[in-house]
C-alpha cells in the first residue's frame, strides 16, 4: 500500500508539489475506512472535506426531479470527490455511496489552505476538475428522459425470457396452426380406418386419450410461456409509461422555466417603458416658451 505522500503524487491536483511539499501535506491528512454499502455523505449534508481515494470505489450520484438516479462519476484509486462543498462551505450537491470498501485520505479546509498557499497554481487544476464534473452533469441532465425502451428491456432479458418471447410469438403464427392441423390429421388418420390395423397405426384408438393428454400438457406449458412473455410485456409497458411521464415532466419543467423567463422579460420591459414614459413626461415641462427679441413670447 503506498504512503500518503506517494498517493498524493498520483492525484493530478497534488502532483504539482515536490516530494517535500507532498510529505508536509500528507502529515496533515487523516485516513478513513468505510465499508461497502455505506453512504459517505448525502445530498444536502453540510460538508467541508474532500476525499482522495486510496482503495475501493465510490459512486457519486443524485436524483433529479423525476426521481431517477443519475450517476455522475465512479471515483477509483487516485480520484477525489467532495471538492465543491469544500470550496464554498455549502451543502453537498450529490450523494456518495461506497460500492467497494473505501480507504481514503480526508482533506479539510485547513489542509486545502495550506496546500494552495504552497502551490497557488494548483487552484487551476481544481477548477479544471470542477469544470469537468459540471460538464458531465449537464450532459446527463440533457438526456435524463431520452431512454430507449428497447435497449432497456432487451439488455435485461434472461435466456428463459427470450425463449418465452419466441414461443409466445410462434404460437400466434399461421405456421404454428398449420403444423398442428397437419399433426392432428395424421394422428387421427393413423388411429381410425384401415391404417389403424397396420403396424404404424392403432396406438391411440378413439376417443384418442393419448392425443387429449398431449394437447392438454402442451396447452399448460404453452400458457406458462405465454404468461411469462405477457408479464415481460407488462413490465416493458410500465417502463415505457415511466419514460413518457419523465418526458412530459421534463417538458413541463422547461415550459415553466420559459414562463419564468418571459415574466422576467415582461417585468423588465415594463420597467423600461415606465422609465421612458417618465422621461417623455418630464421633457415638455423643462422646455418652456422662448421670449422673442421684442419681449413677446415666441411660439415653440
Task: Give domain limits for the chain.
Answer: 4-142, 150-270
Question: Tell me, what's the pLDDT at 48?
Answer: 79
Question: Tell me, what's the pLDDT at 280?
Answer: 80
Half-sphere exposure of 244 (CA within 13 A, CB side): 6
Residue 137 CA to residue 262 CA, distance in Å, equals 26
Q: Which three cell numbers stand for residue 39?
A: 453512504
Q: Is the dihedral of CA 184, 189, 190, 192 positive or negative?
A: positive
Residues 6+ apart with CB under 8 A from 235: 153
Q: Which three cell numbers stand for residue 9?
A: 503524487
Residue 167 CA to residue 222 CA, distance in Å, equals 8
Q: Tell me whether residue 236 is exposed, middle or buried, using C-beta atoms within 10 angstroms of its C-beta: 0 to 12, 13 to 18, 19 or more.
A: middle
Residue 269 CA to residue 267 CA, distance in Å, equals 5
Of how many residues is the chain composed?
A: 300
User: What is the DSSP code (8-state) at residue 1?
Assistant: -
DSSP H or E stretch at residue 225: helix 209-286
Q: Does domain 4-142 have CATH number 3.20.20.70?
A: no
Q: Which three cell numbers stand for residue 252?
A: 413541463
Question: Tell me, what's the pLDDT at 101?
Answer: 92
Residue 99 CA to residue 61 CA, distance in Å, equals 12
Question: Tell me, what's the pLDDT at 186?
Answer: 85
Return the number of other C-beta atoms located less than 10 Å from residue 14's C-beta: 23
Max intra-chain CA distance, the chain: 146
Question: Tell me, what's the pLDDT at 57?
Answer: 92
Q: Which three cell numbers stand for residue 151?
A: 435497449
Residues 6+ apart with CB under 8 A from 4: 26, 27, 29, 31, 105
Q: Which three cell numbers stand for residue 44?
A: 444536502
Which residue, 71, 105, 62, 110, is CA-closest to 89? 110
Tell the residue number behind the cell numbers 502529515, with chain if given: 27
Ranges of the chain with pLDDT below 50: 286, 300
Amino acid at each position: 500500500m503506498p504512503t500518503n505522500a506517494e498517493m498524493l503524487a498520483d492525484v493530478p491536483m497534488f502532483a504539482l508539489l515536490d516530494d517535500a511539499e507532498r510529505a508536509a501535506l500528507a502529515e496533515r491528512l487523516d485516513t478513513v475506512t468505510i465499508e461497502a454499502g455505506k453512504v459517505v455523505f448525502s445530498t444536502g449534508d453540510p460538508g467541508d472535506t474532500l476525499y482522495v481515494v486510496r482503495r475501493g470505489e465510490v459512486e457519486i450520484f443524485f436524483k433529479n426531479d423525476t426521481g431517477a438516479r443519475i450517476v455522475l462519476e465512479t471515483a477509483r484509486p487516485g480520484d477525489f470527490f467532495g471538492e465543491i462543498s469544500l470550496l464554498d462551505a455549502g451543502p453537498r450537491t450529490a450523494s456518495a455511496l461506497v460500492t467497494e470498501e473505501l480507504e481514503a485520505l480526508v482533506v479539510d479546509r485547513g489542509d486545502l489552505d495550506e496546500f494552495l498557499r504552497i502551490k497557488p497554481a494548483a487552484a487551476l487544476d481544481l477548477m479544471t476538475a470542477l469544470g469537468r464534473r459540471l460538464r458531465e452533469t449537464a450532459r446527463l441532465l440533457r438526456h435524463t428522459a431520452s431512454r430507449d425502451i428497447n435497449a432497456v428491456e432487451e439488455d435485461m432479458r434472461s435466456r428463459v425470457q427470450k425463449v418465452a418471447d419466441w414461443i409466445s410469438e410462434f404460437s400466434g403464427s399461421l405456421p404454428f396452426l398449420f403444423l398442428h392441423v397437419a399433426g392432428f390429421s395424421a394422428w387421427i388418420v393413423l388411429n381410425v380406418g384401415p391404417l389403424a390395423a397396420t403396424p404404424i397405426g392403432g396406438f391411440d384408438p378413439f376417443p384418442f386419450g393419448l392425443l387429449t393428454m398431449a394437447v392438454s400438457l402442451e396447452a399448460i406449458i404453452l400458457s406458462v410461456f405465454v404468461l411469462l412473455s405477457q408479464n415481460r410485456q407488462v413490465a416493458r409497458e410500465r417502463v415505457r409509461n415511466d419514460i413518457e411521464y419523465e418526458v412530459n415532466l421534463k417538458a413541463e419543467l422547461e415550459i415553466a422555466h420559459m414562463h419564468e423567463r418571459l415574466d422576467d422579460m415582461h417585468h423588465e420591459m415594463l420597467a423600461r417603458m415606465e422609465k421612458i414614459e417618465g422621461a417623455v413626461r418630464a421633457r415638455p415641462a423643462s422646455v418652456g416658451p422662448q421670449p422673442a427679441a421684442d419681449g413677446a413670447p415666441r411660439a415653440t
